[in-house]
Amino acid sequence: MEAPKTKVVVLFVSLLFILYPNVVVQRTLADGVTPDEAKQLRDEVREMFYHAFDGYMENAFPRDELRPLSCGGEDTLGGYALTLIDSLDTLALLGDRDRFTASVEWIGKNLRFDINKTVSVFETTIRVLGGLLSAHLLASDYATGMKIPTYDNQLLNLAEDLARRLLPVFDTPTGIPFGSVNLLYGVDERESKITSTAGGGTLTLEFGVLSRLTNDPIFEQVTKNAVRGLWARRSKLNLVGAHINVFTGEWTQKDAGIGTSIDSFYEYLLKAYLLFGDEEYLFIFQEAYAAAMQYLYNDPWYVEVNMDSGALVWPLFNSLQAFWPGLQVLAGDIGPAIRTHNAFFSVWKRYGFTPEGFNLASLSVQYGQKSYPLRPELMESTYWLYKATRDPRYLDAGRDMVTSLQYGARCSCGYCHISDVEFHKQEDHMESFFLAETVKYLWLLFDLAVGPDNLVENGPYKYIFSTEGHILPSTPQISLAREHCSYFGSYCKSGNIKQQHHKSDVASNLQETNDSRSFGSWAHGGLPSESTFSDSIPLSGFIKGFCPGLTHGQKFGVSYVMSADTQQNTPTNERAPTVSQRQSDTAPVENSDHLRPVNKKNHDNFQELDGGGSKSNSPQE
């Protein structure tokens, strides 16, 4: 007699889902996160931005950055209102037309780069050049809703002037740039010849956009040449080291990883393809990513290995690695991204923040790396994974992050660095990227949950986020300079190779990275059972001119360059061939013999530090 009642209940619930899907689904946005709370969190993050932005404008402007405890300012890069420049597109994203307009007008009238300051090429490019270009593209286009009637390309002119002052750093035998430059006098003759891989390989988006906007190819050419210079010196394992001599091309630090000194090299390979449609970047990314997954991935963590041998060097999670799951979302490799994000977030839940370094062997904060300088990378990946999956766990994660920042980092005039995540000791400094990235990604996360009403989700273009979080639109002027989707086999040298014509879902996904509806079969929470990169982004089928079996070196003529040290220590008959002599194999390997947990017991127990569901160790507790 009970069966009919059960059927009636099931039928009733089914009808509720059919007739009132929004009510049923929205009431379970996340465990404890109701639709009203998601809106409140979005508004709270907005208030966080203005607490810090107003604190900067009232106490530090026009100096570079805010001292949030003492309510003062400091010049940390060039003394040219760095935080204001870095915040411009966040103001636009929040719809603050008045402050965006006033800020653009002030910068256009007052900013100059003919100053005797020696600056980091990397930081100046991603923070200042990127900030100016993003704001220019917003202020000059009616379609963005942020068009300034009186605007006359002042920010673009400043960006071009700045970039030309950076150009001397590329005058090296390898094409890999110096790390620093004097904006008035150029490269000092005593400038270090050692630079990081990220420093040399994370300039392509900003310089490439500038070339497209000014019709001067020099900016794009020098940065692409730098990437080629780095990739040509990769190891036979397709790994790159952390630091290199820009004159000799010798690696001075051979630790390969996805974190400090290397991270955004990988990021800009894929994003340069997505923004510019230049398939050479995708070829390099595919080979580099496959090698990273084979030699660095120790599921769910990533370690550092020797770039030549693949031997484990450093079992460390560092906070800069946290961008990686977000990059994997763009690449379509969702399964590993989810597992790695879970692991990274478990560190956050243990301490309330992510320390700069967490030792995977001792399962403790790495000595000398206890700080949290308000980094955005974990927020960035949380946003991308929620956008891809709509899994409510990521709203829970975002709420925990907001709570930690509010109770642990908020201070009188802004938000403070945390000098020790174990004791939540505050430090009197606030990086400009807190406003450019950290709060931006949190705001986008909750706005997406409520029902997006912002330029990125509903605007006229698809947007690519730079490594500093600046939004760069995929406009025809920027993205259609090269056609990169065509009929198959059209440029294969062997006229006999024919590929089956089919529409690639992945190709569509790659071209629509910022559309929340663009993630194919898993757009609304349906996930592939076991995603692998080789399945997600096939090596053939949607790239014009790509023939099966061609490597990047065969197509573009960039050869593998073995270091002198390696050549001396390698028997002649065992030396690695050049790329043009090797067949590319970019399928990732799930388990590598080179990667063994330093402590198997600890590794097994540390899938998630919270023990599978304990409450966050947030400051409020």
C-alpha to C-alpha distance for 621 and 603, rounded to whole angstroms: 27
Between 263-276 and 324-331, two packed helices, what is the crossing angle to 10 degrees? 30
C-alpha to C-alpha distance for 302 and 325, rounded to whole angstroms: 11
Q: Looking at 220, 255, 263, 447, which residue is catalytic?
A: 263
Element (H, E) at 88: helix 82-93
CA 618 to centroid of chain Cα atoms = 26
Q: Which two tokens stand for residue 153?
A: 């390309």
Q: Is 263 an annotated catalytic residue?
A: yes
Identify the burial level of 14 via C-beta atoms within 10 angstroms of its C-beta, where 0-12 means exposed, 13-18 middle and 19 or more buried. exposed
Q: Is 250 an annotated catalytic residue?
A: no
- Asked whether the beta carbons of 374 and 431 are under 8 A apart, the reply is yes
Q: Is 566 annotated as a binding residue?
A: no
Q: Is 377 an annotated catalytic residue?
A: yes
- Asked whether the beta carbons of 371 and 420 are under 8 A apart, the reply is yes
C-alpha to C-alpha distance for 154 and 163, rounded to whole angstroms: 14
Beta pairing partners, 317: 358
User: Three-state SS for 243?
Assistant: strand
Identify the burial level of 592 via C-beta atoms within 10 angstroms of its C-beta, where 0-12 means exposed, 13-18 middle and 19 or more buried. middle
C-alpha to C-alpha distance for 242 and 296, rounded to whole angstroms: 14
Q: How many helices (H) and strands (E) does the chain have?
A: 26, 21
Q: Looking at 37, 250, 279, 377, which residue is catalytic?
A: 377
Identify the burial level of 545 via C-beta atoms within 10 angstroms of its C-beta, where 0-12 means exposed, 13-18 middle and 19 or more buried. middle
- Asked whether the beta carbons of 96 and 87 are under 8 A apart, the reply is no
User: Three-state SS for 487?
Assistant: coil
Q: Looking at 356, 400, 431, 447, which residue is catalytic?
A: 356
Q: Is 58 an annotated catalytic residue?
A: no
Annotated binding site for Ca(2+): 467
Annotated binding site: 467
Catalytic residues: 123, 263, 356, 377
